[in-house]
Amino acid sequence: MTEFLQHLVNGLSVGTIYALVALGYTMVYGVLKLINFAHGDVYMVGAFAGYYLSELVGVRPPWADPPPGAGEVFVKATIVTMGAMIICGLLGYVIERFAYRPLRHRARLTALITAIGVSFLLEFGFQLSPLVHTPIEFPPGPSPRVFPALLERVGYEWAGVSLSNYDIIGLLVALGLMLGLQFIVYRTRFGTAMRAVSFDSEVAGLMGIPVNRIISWTFILGSALAAAAAVISAVSRPRIEPLFGLMAGLKAFVAAVLGGIGSVPGAMVGGLVLGLAEEYVAGYTDSSYRDAIAFTVLILVLLIRPAGLFGRFTVEKV
């Protein structure tokens, strides 16, 4: 039982990260019918944005002398997280505006290949040796860097299950963001417009909806969520390097497909299910199977229920 609960905690903590990243895939797919393969790399940029911002605001580690006070920790962690979200939001905007929008009315494959191109541009651009040295070393180059400790890790043990404040805060922030997004998508005028664009962008224009602006905001929101996920994840797993968005991106993509690509609640559930599945299978069998789970899930979904858990089946009426 203890082991079961421990896997539950770990699975939820990984699953919320997948869910946040999956939301970006699913929202962009919703409005453009495009799998934005650069999304995993936006996640990677989010981690580096957090890393550089930590340097700029001078995050001091918990073991510094004197140690940072609670107020300082809170303010700096907030600046780092929000700043990374804003930077990635801008990046998402730029990617859509300059890479995808000019190809909007071309064959869908063209945009897909462009997405892979953008992905390579980010992955390999970030592996270049630094061209700028002050105030930050950019690009970071190929060797891994260590994400700074934004706050001190405090471990708890409860009935044999160990968890830390990282898990709890990460979970709360992720849930807060998902609730916020759920509210935006289902309760606001912007969200209704987004769902309308996703159903039929031509007709959405006939309603007076500025379709291009809605698409831009969709990229901004999705990319900002990826940045938040990256910072949350990098706090507990601080090793970051330019290629580490690849696997996270692929898994989040699987989570989006599992939930039903295009469905916002689907991405959230898909992310959590995938995180838990990985954790339980790896925990009860062999942890080297961990990365295989996602792809097994992908194959099973495509075979059994290609529309995913929350997939939309529409019937046209005459």
Partner 1 sequence: MSGPILEVRDLRVDYGGIKALRGISLEVPEGEVVALIGANGAGKTTTLRAISKMLRPVTGTIRFRGEDVTRLASHQLVARGMAHGPEGRGIFLNLTVSENLRLGAYLRRDLAGIQADAEKAYALFPILAERRSQVSGTLSGGEQQMLAVARALMSRPRLLLLDEPSLGLAPQVVERIFAVLRDVSATGVSLLLVEQNAHKALQLAHRGYVLETGQIVMTGTGRELLASPEVRKAYLGE
What residues line the site for partner 1 (CB under 8 A)?
A: 105, 189, 192-193, 195-196, 198-200, 202-211, 312, 314-315, 317-318
CB neighbour burial string for 199-224, b if at least 16 within 10 angstroms, e if fewer: eebeebeeeebebeebbbbbbbbbbb
Q: Would you say 59 or 196 has its CB closer to partner 1? A: 196
Nearer to partner 1, 110 or 127 (CB): 110
Nearer to partner 1, 164 or 182 (CB): 182
- Minimum CB distance to partner 1 smaller for 144 or for 265: 265
Least distance between partner 1 and beta carbon 200 (Å): 6
Longest Cα–Cα distance of the chain, Å, equals: 73
CB of 204 to partner 1, least distance (A): 8
Minimum CB separation of residue 23 from partner 1 in Å reads 17
Q: Are 88 and 42 a contacting pair, CB within 8 Å? A: yes
**What is the number of alpha carbons within 13 Å of residue 160 lying toward its C-beta?**
7
Residue 267 CA to residue 272 CA, distance in Å, equals: 9
Residues in the chain, how many? Answer: 318
Q: Which is nearer to partner 1, 107 or 303 (CB)?
A: 107
Cβ at position 32, least distance to partner 1 in Å = 16
E strand or H helix at 145: strand 145-146
Instruction: Report in angstroms how near the CB of residue 266 gets to partner 1 at its nearest.
Output: 13
Residue 6 vs residues 67, 152, 264, 279: alpha-carbon distances, Å: 31, 21, 28, 9
